[in-house]
Copies of this chain bind each other. A is one copy, B any other.
Amino acid sequence: MEKNLKIHPAFDERCPVRASLALLSGKWTLMILFQINENVMRYGELKRAVTGISEKMLIQELNMLVENKLVSKEVYPQIPPKVEYRLTKLGLKTLPIVDQLAEFGLENLV
């Protein structure tokens, strides 16, 4: 039905701020990136580090971050399983964003 052709203004699609938010504005996303930081972290370690997150959200976010190349994943073929996560070069570039948000929050919100 011709009426339903949605207009997606270029603004929406190409706006770099929107693009960044689409990637990073989830409830847990930046927390996870921040916790991984410069470290190598196993799934279980992250679960403990990111207080309050459910297992579903944790792997869902991790998978999404791996897909988007912010995080890399190394699986060791062992039993019980061992999986390591770390930030990619791209992932490391998000840390300044976390810093800005942290600074703003610290100074004005909390």
Contact = CB atoms under 8 A, between A and B. Distances in A.
A31 interface: yes
A11 interface: yes
A51 B108 CA distance: 29
A37 interface: no
Interface string A70-110: 00000000000000000000100110111011111111111
Given A11-B52, A51-B12, A52-B11, A20 B109 contact: yes
B110 A104 contact: no
B16 A109 contact: yes
A19 interface: yes
Interface of A: 7-9, 11-12, 14-21, 23-25, 27, 30-31, 34, 51-52, 90, 93-94, 96-98, 100-110
